[in-house]
Amino acid sequence: MKVLYAQSGGVTSVINASAYGVLDEAKKAGLEIFVGIHGISGVLREKILNVTDRELEGLKTTPSAAFGSCRKKLKSQEDISRLFEIFEKYEIEYFFYNGGNDSMNTAWKLHEEAKKRGFPLKVIGVPKTIDNDLPYTDHCPGYGSAAKYIATAVMEATLDLRSMYVDSTRVFVMEIMGRHAGWLAAAAGLGWLNGIGADIILLPEVPFDKEKFLNKVDETIRRKGYCSIAVSEGIRYPDGFFVSDMGFTDSFGNRQLGGVGFTIAGMIRSELSLKTHVAIPDYLQRSGRHIASKTDVEEAEMVGRTAVKLAVSGVSGVMVTIERKSNEPYKVEYETVGLNKVADQTKYLPDEFHNEFSVTEKFFEYVKPLVEGEIFPTFRNGLPVYTIFREVEEL
């Protein structure tokens, strides 16, 4: 019996922990293991690697997609038929797709096609996204570590700002990923648990009002002398238009966003005449494995292991979910939801987790367990050691 695993969409610092969970659990079950290089884009080109005899332990502490990811939607019957040719050729009986909203749509299409064809294929979605916007799960593997990275970076940058504001930069702006939901930008406020964080947080859930925003910046400067701002890339004007729309779409059909930090900084400079600095962590926030959350790493591995257990028991057409049972002590259980319910859906930051320019105690209660603990990678020559598959560069 043979397994095919693949990674898809924007990466995280713990997606490879899920890969390890899937592949190690499959090995324990006596299954032959294949991985798709660069997701279904690679599978369509028959770029498939047999990893049954590979050493995989290092995946648990390696960021990004060790086997390569992709941003491809299944839009044609030709592509679907080609995938089933590959499944048949390699005698694949279990397919695990590790991704977010769009990836679950792909997994759902393959599950439905398998039923239609009477093809013996079990399809399970393995969740991941730093955006934390998959519905029907309490949270997503990848979010806790990205939130920890953002919270730490904002704390450190704000301390820098606090040191220099008297005759230098008065405003610091960090642009944070998050197209539709503000989960990650909200993490910029988490540092207040330890005394310092973002003074203003701009979320996609709150329509951007330029006048109110500038008044808030001015009030903060007058009160404390400096202002630290976190802005989600997905903030919109009241009419629904993205503040940072770049005018074109990516391969998933999403509007390409970028530069909102500089847009916000420009407003502050022109209207308030304040010296402003902008930082864009970009890839760093999603692949910052050196500061990953222990909770996140362990849960990422467990959703992978759970996916295999479900598939070998005959389950198909579902995504693994995390159900929180309690905060103190923190306890979760692993459940499932139909892929059709998750595909292309978005979970927004609840109203009770934020107000106009900041986050609430409810948000702190929710996110604190997700950033707890550390599992550091091995270090050599003063630097982390990561697992690298050279085959990823040969597509």
- Catalytically active residues are 131
Bridge-based pairing state of the strands 276-279 and 255-257: unpaired
Task: Give residue 346's Cα distance to chain centre.
Answer: 13
Distance CA 29, CA 27 (A): 5
Orientation of helix 15-28 relative to helix 294-312, angle to 10°: 40
Q: What is the dihedral of CA 185, 188, 190, 194, to 10 degrees?
A: 180
State whether residue 152 is helix, strand or coil: helix
| Residue pair 148/371 in contact by the 8 Å Cβ criterion | yes
Per-residue tokens: 49: 């690697």
Residue 7, annotated as binding a ligand: no
Residue 177, annotated as binding a ligand: yes
Task: Give residue 195's Cα distance to chain centre.
Answer: 26
How many other β-carbons are positioned within 10 Å of the β-carbon of residue 8? 29
Residue 344, annotated as binding a ligand: no
Residue 283, annotated as binding a ligand: yes
Residue 240, annotated as binding a ligand: no
Residue 234, annotated as binding a ligand: no
Residue 79, annotated as binding a ligand: no
In the chain, what is the greatest distance between 2 CA atoms, to the nearest angstrom? Answer: 71
Distance CA 73, CA 131 (A): 19
Residue 131, annotated as binding a ligand: yes
Distance CA 122, CA 337 (A): 15
Task: Give residue 255's Cα distance to chain centre.
Answer: 18
| CB hemisphere CA count around 162 (13 angstroms) | 12
Residue in 32, 38, 20 with CA at minimum distance from that of residue 90: 32
State whether residue 1 is helix, strand or coil: coil
Distance CA 203, CA 229 (A): 11
Residue 284, annotated as binding a ligand: yes
Specify the DSSP element, H or E, that contains 19: helix 15-28
Residue in 207, 173, 185, 378 with CA at minimum distance from that of residue 276: 173
Residue 93, annotated as binding a ligand: no
Bridge-based pairing state of the strands 171-176 and 227-232: parallel
Residue 42, annotated as binding a ligand: no
Residue numbering of the annotated binding site for diphosphate? 10
Give the residue ranges of the annotated binding site for substrate. 129-131, 177-179, 233, 283-286
Q: Which residues are annotated as a binding site?
A: 10, 101, 129-131, 177-179, 233, 283-286
Binding residues for Mg(2+) are: 101
